[in-house]
Structure 1
Amino acid sequence: MREAGHPHVSPRLYPLFAFLCVTTLILVFSLLGIFTRPPDLLAAFWPANAVLLGIMLRYPRLASPAGWIGGIAGYLLAALFTDDSAIKTTLLTLGNLAGVGVGYLLFRRLDHEDVRLRRPTSIVYLLLITMAASLAAGLVGALVNPLLFKGDMLYGLGFWFASELVNYMAILPVILTLPPLAVLAQWRIDFYRPSISWANMLPLLSFLATLLLALLIEGPGSIVFPVPALLWCAVTYSLFTTSLLSLCFSSLTLLALSYGYLTINHDAQTQYWMFSVRIGLMLIALTPLTAASIMAARNALLSRMEHLAHHDHLTGTLNRTGFWPVAQAMLATHEQRQHPIAVCMLDLDNFKRINDTHGHEAGDTLLRACTEAVRQHLRQGDLFARLGGEEFAVLLPAATQSQALEVVERLRERVAGLSVMDETGRPVGATISIGMACQQRGTYNLDRLLSRADQALYQAKRNGRNRVELHEDCGQERVAHPLGA
């Protein structure tokens, strides 16, 4: 499983970095749980375990001995801010680590796509694994509850199981779907120049409104008021954003119930009342996550289909269908700016003979090598596409005739220097002929420019191949390189 984005730390210092990083995170989130727990009770919301499991899965390099020791250190340091005895601290830490350890071992059996929740079935795996991790913590709770809180074992099992399950289901999706650091950096830039779209804001505003409505209207049904809004958010926003909103819903609802801001039952609460509420919250949080995961899989499939429709399967470049609208838009932009344009047609010389002599596999390998060579030596902003067979098109925006000639001559020389091996180990080389049409200003017509470039290409073939020819409308300058004709 690849680690997506991590600081550049010296290998010698990385164990120390992992220790300090995990210790700090677990300390902070443990303190958050401690400061929100009622007196003489366990925390209503304990995020530290889910955070520890999440970072170990999301950033596997942290899951080293130093990282795990850092997690234990974070729990122990947080206990210094409480009046807990050493025995109580040890037993609670054992329960924390039991759930995290089981969850980590089970998640590591999944592939990367399922760990990142990119398939609809990933939510099922998430639920099953977090239930197993919560059960492991609950078994410790069954032993700890009579010792520390004078309660019965069954209540300890149920309370710990339900609490851990809600925390895992609320927090883990946020960490597992966290975008790479580069994407987060771009979000920070966009934050300062937002373009507000009410269509995109309405699901979020409806979610906030239903949260407020749940506080104003008391009763057992109030906790499900935000469900329609959460589903609207799930089909509108990304999986990561939906995970964040589900986390806000679960954590805020638990805290509101614990401190009496949200009342759903005026009768005397039994010891299993909160157990039922926690399970209900977990299932509510699961609903938008499932919908968002399905939408993410759908969007990825549509993106893949669109890519296949507009790109050549062999070389990965734009195909004719993908080239045309992009080229038209590019011409319109530079026509308005009165920038010069150059359009080139490229064709591999004697490609049929290469296929007949060395085989189609060698021909495909040569096509891919030539494509990569051309792509690497184009300027940023140039447009490159395979129109069919061994024929390619290049659009050079804002390029004068001399600049365009310099670019395409570089391409010709680079391809002429290529060599690949066929199945028998024989070297296979190729040359390209290039026809170019230029226009300084005026109305740009893609059909006309491509037709002129094709006429110049035909002239390059007639004059011996492995050369660049300009269409006559470009001027009198010619560049001929009759090498390997």
Structure 2
Amino acid sequence: MSTPHSGRLLAYACAAIFAACLLGIVLRPIGFLSVFWPANQLLLVLFLRYPRVLLQPLGMAAIFVSYVAADVLTGSNLWVSMGFSVANMVGAACAWWVMHRHSERDLQMEGQFSALLVFYGSGVATTVSAAIGGPISAYAFSVPLLQGTLMWWTGEWMNAMILLPFLLALPTARKATLAQEALPIAARVLPVAAVVVLEAASYTVVGKVGALAFSLPALLWCALSYRILPTTIITMLVFATKIIVASRIDFTPAQFVDVATFRLGVTMLILGPLSVAGAHAARTELLNRMRYQAHHDSLTGVLSRNGFVQASELLLQRLMHERGSVAVLMLDLDHFKRVNDGHGHATGDHLLCEFSRTVVHTLRPQDVLGRIGGEEFAVVLPHISAQDAATIAERLCHAVRSEPFQTLRNEPLQASVSIGVAHVAQLSEYDSIENLLRDADVALYQAKSRGRDCVMLGAAR
């Protein structure tokens, strides 16, 4: 069903395809196919991201018109342009059919085998499109059938391997990237500087076209140093420069065997840095997830006991140097066993998750929350007075008491929390997180003895 949003999206897609076709036509040698044709790779990415809008009759017809219009407006024969457009669109559709079932990470070049997926998908696409477009180009440019087909096949595959990884790696609105440790300036600059130096040397020392693999070590260095998007940009620029320079020298039908060999060399060689970049991205993602799981509670998402202790120790060390104050809160959900016994453990788990969210929303951004075990949680409040710490604890009690918790059957569930507070006005080297947790636990026990759903402030130090 057509909507204003889908209509705008289709218009933008057609405009982008039209502009990409014009760019390819500008780079087309007189009397033959374009050296660099980005429209098909752009179309494939649009198919992968917006199939419900583009892969339907109206969308396909509009895109077809965009292809043909760009060719006809620049003086091409209408029927030849229509044949080329059919070949281009069928190839992109075949690549979509091969690739669309894979995961989002694979399609964003962050999977271990993303480069091979692009290689295989684009290979299928170029083979199919060459079977259609090759004979048409042979007729249009008066060259032998083998020559026309081979030039189409190698040129299209090379274009796909150069441009498609970059387009796939572009961020989307749904894509969330985990934080990555900042590298020193030298580590950020040296890999790309090495690419520039080796590329310049390849043209200066080896010849005008340059050695294909001259900068490969530097590209591999980039793949291990940068995120996937910068790596694809650097790789694309290196090999696009090579083919543009080469096209000024001998990218004509008369040298089609050498040209085809050169193009296949680029197609195969570019797999190296892209494969390393994808494997490195997958490894980094796995390590980040393992690190997160090691420091966070799998049920509630807050810090686990180990993660809480480590984060608190670092915070206390900083506060110690600043001679600052700190408060530690121990929180215990009242009568939690009754919830498990009366409503089941699934409801108990649901309550823990909702309770955690309530506490997070009540605390300050600089406070540290962790699940110590079972229904017990702990909070570290930096730079705070004893009175303010007690006020925050009372606020937590009120927030939990007032929250409309529910069972999994949408039945109302009343919950409350008991809180013990330990406060230190000025930290010393003897104040460890273990000692503060112990003091807060003593105050928590007193809160439970008073009837629960209340706050007890321990002896101030």
| TM-score normalised by structure 2 residue count | 0.88
Corresponding residue for residue 7 of structure 2: 16
Matched, 1:455 2:446: no
Contact 2:326–2:427 under 8 Å retained in 1: no
Q: Quote the offset at 1:328 in angstroms.
A: 2.6
Encode CA deviations 1:6-46: one digit per residue, 9 max, x unaligned: xxxxx843233223311222222222212122211211111
Equivalent residues of 2:165, 2:232 under 8 A apart: yes
1:181–1:339 CA distance, 2 compared to 1 (3 A) = farther
Cα-to-partner distance string for 1:211-235 (whole Å, 9 max, x where unaligned): 1112113369811101111111111
Does the CA-based 8 Å contact 2:325-2:427 persist in structure 1? Answer: no
Aligned residue number for residue 63 of structure 2 = 71
CA change 1:392–1:231 in 2 (3 A) is same
Alignment partner of 2:66: what SS? helix
Q: Conserved in 1, the CA contact under 8 Å of 2:44 and 2:92?
A: yes
- Does 2:209 align with 1:218? no
Structure 2 residue aligned with 1:257, among 239, 246, 249? Answer: 246
Q: Which residue of 2 aligns with 1:29?
A: 20
The structural deviation recorded for 1:381 is 2.4
**8 Å CA contact retained: 2:33, 2:152:** no
- Between the aligned partners of 1:313 and 1:277, the Cα distance in structure 2 is 52
**Structure-2 change in CA distance of 1:69 and 1:339 (3 Å):** farther
Equivalent in 141, 159, 168 of residue 176 of structure 1: 168
Cα deviations by residue, 1:424-455 (Å, 9 ceiling, x for unpaired) = x8765432210012233443643333222122
- The alignment-based identity, stated in percent, is 31
- CA displacement, residues 226-273 of structure 1 (integer Å, 9 cap, x when unaligned): 11111111111112222112211221111111112xx89xxx964222
Contact 1:422–1:428, Cα closer than 8 Å, also in 2 = no
- How far residue 144 of structure 1 moved from its aligned partner, in angstroms, is 0.3
* Alpha-carbon offset, residue 182 of structure 1: 9.5
Q: Which residue identity lines up with residue 460 of structure 1 in the other structure?
A: A
Q: Is 1:306 matched up with 2:291?
A: yes
Gaps of 5+ in 2: none
Q: Is the 8 A contact 1:460 1:469 kept in 2?
A: yes
Q: Residues 182-201 of structure 1, C-alpha deviation per residue, up to 9 Å, x if partnerless?
A: 9999x9xxxxxx99711221
- Residues 138 and 161 in structure 1, CA contact (< 8 A), matched pair in contact too: yes
2:191 equivalent in structure 1: 203
Whether contact under 8 Å (1:19, 1:69) holds in the other structure is no
Check if 1:421 corresponds to 2:421: no
CA gap 1:457/1:294 in 2 versus in 1, 3 angstroms: same
| Gap regions ≥5 residues in structure 1 | 1-10, 188-193, 475-485
**1:408 positional shift:** 2.1
2:459 is matched with: 472
Letter in 2 for 1:421: T
* Distance verdict in 2 for CA 1:67–1:243, change over 3 Å: farther
8 Å CA contact retained: 1:436, 1:468: yes
State the Cα deviation string for residues 364-410 of structure 1 (Å, max 9, x = none): 23222222222232222221100112211112233333433332223
Corresponding residue for residue 236 of structure 1: 225
1:295/1:26 Cα in 2 relative to 1: closer, same or farther (>3 Å)? same
Where 1:433 maps in the other structure, the secondary structure is strand
Shift of 1:76: 3.2
Task: Give the whole-Å Cα distance in 2 for the aligned partners of 1:195 and 1:230.
Answer: 18
The answer to which of 414-423 and 128-137 deviates more is 414-423
- Say which is worse superposed, 282-291 or 436-445, in terms of deviation: 436-445
Q: Is the 8 A contact 1:115 1:122 kept in 2?
A: yes
User: Match of 1:122?
Assistant: 114
Equivalent in the alignment of 2:76: 84
Q: Is the 8 A contact 1:328 1:446 kept in 2?
A: yes
Report SS of the residue matched to 1:342.
strand
Count how many residue pairs are aligned between Structure 1 and Structure 2: 451
Cα distance per residue 1:71-113 (max 9 Å; x no partner): 3343234225522122222222222212112222322233323
2:99 & 2:254 partners in 1: Cα distance? 36
Once residues 142 and 180 of structure 1 are traced to their aligned partners in structure 2, the CA distance between those partners, rounded to angstroms, is: 35
Q: Which range moved further: 204-213 or 341-350?
A: 341-350
Q: 1:64 to 1:102 in 2, by over 3 A?
A: closer
Match of 2:335 among 350, 358, 366: 350
Q: Measured at CA, do residues 100 and 196 of structure 1 come closer, stay the same or move farther in structure 2, by a change above 3 Å?
A: same
Q: Which residue does the alignment assign to 1:288? A: 273
Q: Within 1, Cα distance between the matches of 2:50 and 2:7?
A: 15
Q: Which residue of 2 aligns with 1:397?
A: 382
The AA in structure 2 aligned to 1:148 is A
AA in 2 matched with 1:54 = V
In 1, Cα distance between equivalents of 2:386 and 2:60 = 63
Letter in 2 for 1:461: K
Of 350, 353, 357 in structure 2, the residue corresponding to residue 372 of structure 1 is 357
88, 108, 113: which is aligned to 2:100?
Answer: 108
Determine if contact 2:191/2:221 at 8 Å carries over to the other structure.
Answer: yes
Contact 1:44 1:255 in 2 (8 A): yes
Q: 1:170 to 1:184 in 2, by over 3 A?
A: farther
| Compared CA separation, residues 59 and 323, structure 1 to 2 (3 A) | farther
Question: CA 1:56–1:40 in structure 2 vs 1: closer, same or farther (change >3 Å)?
Answer: same
